[in-house]
Amino acid sequence: MTNEKIKFSPIIVGTMRLGAWGAKMNTSELERFVESCLEMGLNDFDHADIYGHYTTEEDFGKLLQSNSSLRSKIQITTKCGIKLVSENRPDYSINSYDSSKQHIIQSAENSLQFLSTDYLDLLLIHRPDFLMNPHEIAEAFQILKTSGKVKHFGVSNFTPQQFDLLNQFTPLATNQVEISIKHLNCFEDGTLLQCQKHNITPTAWSPLGGGDVFRLSSDPKILRIREVGNELAKKYNATLDQILLAWLNAHPSEIVSVIGTSKIERVKSSLEALNIKLTKEDWYRLWKSSTGSEIA
């Protein structure tokens, strides 16, 4: 089965902190932010139905309603499959996962309505459902694709085994996973090798490790990463965050980072990190700072 290739912009702009869970941008502020991203060549915006307790997609949709010309200029990713207890979902009594055909299709329909768009560029299953039926998921994906409502499909936070299972029934375009200098699992568990094998682009959420490296900490691991990262920042005339992103960019699977900031200057800084080419030894210096031990 041939996997579908989707072309992402150099970095993906995450929307989780633009709305109720962060900056609480109004429509005018959001428009300025999106326009600034587009001026930098960044047209990918990453959503999930649950963001802002089911409000952030609708906030973004209000922007597209007020400026419909933006839709043709951007790619929209959203995610479904988590049922989050919220006042906006009073029928949910417990946080749970649902990857049933009915839930996927209804979630996609909801996202289309909230985002004020006729189609989604990419729909991801947000987290692996322990009760997932790959036949059902594949059927839901096929219905949405045939109707023209979703162009591409993928997953998020799937293990290589979970990815392989679903990929046997429906071609997946990406696996969005947590990857950072602080979170190394994907380098060792086969996730990135799998992406290379299938020629798909891995996308990385929390590529800066949730910001822990930039906060006061007594954690020896964080202190080691900060020390080596700052040394390399001086060497490459860069900032610490740029070095950590450059470290991800160096991997041959061509990881694309999802940047979760509401500050346009931080987005610009992240984009500039693409110009930094770490030597292999410097790459492994950072690896060692994270693991605390030599590789051999």
Residue 75's alpha-carbon distances to 47, 82, 147, in angstroms, are 11, 22, 18
Q: What is the pLDDT along the chain (296 residues), one digit of tens a residue?
A: 566 689 999 999 999 999 999 999 999 999 999 999 999 999 999 999 999 999 999 999 999 999 999 999 999 999 999 999 999 999 999 999 999 999 999 999 999 999 999 999 999 999 999 999 999 999 999 999 999 999 999 999 999 999 999 999 999 999 999 999 999 999 999 999 999 999 999 999 999 999 999 999 999 999 999 999 999 999 999 999 999 999 999 999 999 999 999 999 999 999 999 999 999 999 999 999 999 999 87
Three-state secondary structure string covering 202-267: CEEECCCHHHHHHCCCCCHHHHHHHHHHHHHHHHCCCCHHHHHHHHHHCCCCCCEEEECCCCHHHH
130 class by beta-carbon count within 10 Å (0-12 exposed, 13-18 middle, 19+ buried)? exposed
pTM, 2 dp: 0.96
Domains of the chain: 12-173 (3.20.20.100)
- Which positions are annotated as active-site residues? 51
